[in-house]
């Protein structure tokens, strides 16, 4: 095959040498616009895992890189007059110029043709090529030419950064945070050879402009950074190699993803690789990794399918299918890390102490978890756990063991929970006329005995017409009150758990079938009239609700108050007001479901007016020493709906009204939503509200193991974790997770204690068998 790689960066060069190495008969050319052995940039960084892959695919190149790179395990934080260091992280740093020179020399050894100082304008310049690799960078001309095919999505991020270097050889990957009168700056620093380190300075656009950096030239910007980071630089200066850029050389990062990566232009197959196909923020140092991995995977697919022209379409299809998954994973992690740095000043730096700030920074991508940190640096993590436990008021176990973060106590008003795990309210559809029965007693009792600190029945409806389905719980009469008291008394008398109640009104989502008979589908018979903020049906064929009148509002407020008084008399420990998921109060908050033109529709204050009326009314009759939380949909996942920024506004309103905690869920407001699922996908919403609004939060969504909960609680992304489906599968979820991570101080019910040793021993046997 005739292969042309447009662009002499890591992706193009490495693919060229791999293909030539695998099949020397290929005619492979790399075309680069710069001069031979000339490049720009300071150091690049990638992980030990990427280095291992390179050893497998071309040991000669790997060896040449290994003798030139700087390897380090330590990360150091400089913050608020402190230096905190942790180890075990495994990075490789090498000068970009040195790495490209090694790849160029290896290409020449293998017989790759290198053409320098040729500025390619388009793929049509190579009509004889069977395969064209468009590795021409983030501003790819080839990709832009076929934009209708590749469908690139470029989003420019708000932070400003400048890429500099210094002759101080830092001995750890260093993050230096400095506060000025206008806000925070951070430096990302890593050594890449014996005498030089990359020094990237980043800040928000607001701070950038407040200091007048937008009006400075490069020399003035460098002088500013040298003064700001003088202590870390220790007399060394900062250098630029971006004199070719106009102005101050401060940039905005562009996040790029493409819908498609390959195209047949009539003569040649064209495929994107490296930064022309995708970008990942420098916050996790993955751009070079992605480029190298692209080259390896495309080569691997040729090895698997065939090194001939006829195989190219199948190879490119397989390449894209495999790489898209891994790239999405890396980009998601990079996005999390990037967004952490974009809000670090307003969300973390001003409020977190250095110990927790360090933990938050290390786990910013959500790829590094609590137990992963233990593998990397057990000593540091155990020190952090001791610090966290002391601040939480946790007592050491009899054997001196320090509880992990999820097993520390938490207090709201007069309520103290023994750990941070909540059994989330989950609809069971098993009530008759709103009445809880034996099922609910067993269901909730089992999970209270299973170790959770707080259990909730499903959303409990404040009136018959507030129900979602005929099987939903209610609290509007004496019989229901007595049935609930039986459950609450059991939890209080037989377990150390607390029990809460979540009060709500279904609104336009009411009068539907039980979930297993057709979720969200309207009842064929026995339906009741629906009310909502506006006369909009949930589904096209759902019953259209009546827009609420002032008389309706007064009745609903009275229903909430009456249910709250009953909950108070029963003895529930905490009350949660359900204002999420498109139910009645949520329908007022979201512009997708509130189209009113009166005082209850319009801006945030107007949309929140009625939900706040309900909150004020229940707060007046709920005991002063007991907390109230509010569940919000923190993202409607639909254009024109509420965003996390809107949710933060509502959270502040409820906080000011007296809410003690915000339960941060999302979605289910409109059926046409398009949520982005993933590991801990709703935790960032809790993080935002907790740390920007300074109100305790509950994180929900895809939290399925102790490692997740420990990471969330330790980083300060939430105060409690609500666990739903794992509790359905395992009522003793908390006890079992404690055993899995080796936390021995989690109590078991005395009636079940004899089973504990067997359970722990079985875990040990399974772990031993897995290693053999």
Active site residue ranges: 583
- CA–CA dist 219, 360 (Å, integer): 34
Distances (CA, A) of 247 to 30, 200, 219, 242, 632: 32, 17, 10, 10, 45
Please give the Cα distance from 735 to 756 (Å, whole number): 9
521 is written with which tokens?
């589908």
Residue 502's SS3 state is strand
Question: DSSP class of residue 595?
Answer: -
Residue 123: name the closest of 91, 96, 149, 156 by CA: 149
Q: What is d(CA 510, CA 464) in angstroms, rounded to the nearest whole number?
A: 10
Token pair for 186: 């951070």
Burial environment of residue 326 by CB neighbours within 10 A (0 to 12, 13 to 18, 19 or more) = middle
Look-up of token digits 């204050």: 605
Distance, in Å, from the CA atom of 306 to the CA atom of 303, rounded to the nearest integer, reads 6
HSE (CB half, 13 Å, CA atoms) of 553? 18
Q: Which of 333, 384, 417 is nearest to 715 (CA)?
A: 384
d(CA 53, CA 57): 6
d(CA 732, CA 328): 34
Half-sphere exposure for 514 (CA within 13 Å, toward CB): 11
Query: From edge to edge, which strands make up the β-sheet containing 131-134?
Result: 113-115, 27-31, 2-6, 131-134, 269-272, 262-264
DSSP letter, residue 307: S
**Alpha carbons within 13 A on the beta-carbon side of 231:** 11
Q: Are 553 and 505 in contact (CB under 8 A)?
A: no
Q: Rounded CA gap, 688 and 693, in Å?
A: 8
DSSP assignment of 66-90 equals HTT-EEE--EEEEETTEEEEE----
């Amino acid at each position: 095959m005739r292969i042309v790689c447009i662009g002499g960066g890591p992706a193009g060069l490495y693919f060229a040498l791999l293909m030539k190495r695998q099949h020397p008969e290929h005619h492979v050319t790399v075309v680069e616009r710069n001069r031979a052995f000339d490049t720009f940039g300071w150091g690049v960084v990638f992980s030990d895992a990427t280095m291992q892959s390179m050893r497998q695919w071309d040991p000669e190149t790997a060896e040449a890189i290994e003798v030139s790179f700087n390897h380090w395990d330590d990360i150091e934080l400089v913050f608020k007059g402190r230096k905190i260091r942790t180890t075990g992280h495994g990075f490789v740093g090498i000068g970009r110029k040195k790495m490209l020179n090694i790849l160029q020399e290896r290409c020449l050894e293998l017989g790759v043709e290198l053409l320098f100082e040729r500025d390619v304008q388009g793929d049509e310049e190579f009509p004889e090529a069977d395969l064209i690799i468009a590795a021409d960078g983030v501003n790819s001309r080839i990709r832009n030419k076929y934009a209708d095919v590749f469908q690139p999505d470029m989003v420019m991020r708000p932070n400003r950064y400048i890429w500099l270097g210094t002759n101080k050889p830092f001995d750890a990957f260093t993050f230096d945070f400095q506060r000025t009168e206008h806000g925070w700056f951070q430096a990302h620093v890593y050594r890449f050879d014996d005498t030089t380190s990359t020094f990237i300075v980043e800040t928000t656009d607001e701070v950038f402009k407040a200091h007048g950096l937008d009006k400075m030239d490069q020399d003035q910007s460098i002088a500013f950074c040298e003064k700001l980071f003088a202590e870390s630089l220790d007399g060394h200066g900062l250098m630029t190699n971006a004199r070719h850029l106009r102005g101050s050389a401060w940039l905005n990062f562009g996040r790029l993803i493409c819908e498609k990566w390959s195209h047949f232009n009539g003569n040649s197959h064209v495929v994107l690789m490296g930064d022309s196909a995708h970008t990942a923020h420098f916050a996790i140092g993955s751009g070079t990794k992605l480029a190298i991995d692209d080259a390896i995977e495309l080569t691997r697919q040729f090895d698997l399918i065939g090194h001939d022209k006829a195989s190219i379409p199948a190879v490119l299809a397989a390449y894209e299918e495999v790489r898209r998954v891994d790239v999405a994973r890396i980009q998601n992690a990079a996005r999390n890390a990037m967004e952490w740095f974009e809000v670090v000043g307003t969300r973390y730096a001003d409020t977190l102490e250095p110990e927790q700030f360090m933990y938050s920074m290390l786990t910013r991508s959500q790829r590094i978890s609590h137990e992963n940190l233990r593998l990397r640096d057990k000593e540091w993590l155990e020190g952090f756990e001791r610090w966290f436990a002391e601040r939480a008021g946790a007592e050491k176990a009899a054997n001196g063991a320090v509880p992990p973060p999820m097993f520390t106590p938490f207090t709201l008003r007069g309520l103290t929970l023994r750990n941070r795990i909540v059994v989330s309210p989950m609809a069971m559809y098993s009530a008759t006329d709103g009445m809880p029965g034996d099922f609910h007693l067993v269901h909730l009792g089992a999970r209270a005995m299973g170790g959770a600190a707080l259990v909730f029945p499903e959303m409990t409806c404040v009136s018959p017409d507030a129900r979602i389905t005929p099987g939903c719980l209610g609290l509007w009469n004496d019989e229901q009150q007595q049935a609930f008291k039986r459950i609450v008394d059991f939890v209080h008398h037989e377990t150390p758990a607390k029990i809460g109640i979540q009060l709500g009104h279904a609104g336009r989502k009411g009068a539907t079938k039980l979930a297993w008979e057709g979720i969200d589908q309207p009842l064929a018979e026995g339906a009741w009239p629906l009310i909502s903020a506006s006369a909009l049906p949930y589904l096209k064929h759902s019953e259209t609700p009546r827009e609420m009148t002032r008389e309706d509002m007064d009745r609903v407020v009275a229903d909430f108050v009456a249910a709250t008084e009953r909950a108070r008399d029963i003895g529930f420990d905490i009350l949660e007001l359900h204002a999420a998921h498109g139910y009645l109060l949520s329908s007022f908050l979201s512009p997708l479901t509130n189209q009113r033109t009166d005082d209850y529709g319009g801006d945030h204050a107007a949309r929140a007016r009625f939900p706040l009326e309900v909150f004020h009314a229940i707060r007046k009759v709920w005991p002063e020493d007991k907390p109230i939380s509010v569940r919000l949909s923190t993202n409607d996942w639909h254009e024109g709906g509420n965003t996390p920024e809107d949710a933060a506004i509502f959270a502040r309103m409820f906080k000011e009204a007296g809410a003690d905690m915000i339960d941060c869920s999302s979605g289910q407001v409109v059926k046409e939503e398009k949520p982005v699922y993933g590991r801990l996908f709703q935790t960032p919403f809790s993080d935002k509200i907790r740390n920007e609004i300074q109100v305790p939060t509950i994180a929900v969504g895809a939290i399925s193991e102790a490692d997740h909960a420990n990471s969330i609680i330790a980083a300060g992304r939430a105060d409690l974790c609500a666990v739903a489906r794992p509790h359905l599968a395992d009522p003793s979820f908390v006890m079992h997770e404690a055993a899995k991570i080796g936390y021995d101080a989690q109590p078991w019910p005395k009636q079940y204690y004899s089973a504990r040793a067997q359970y722990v021993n079985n875990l040990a046997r399974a772990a031993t068998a897995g290693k053999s």
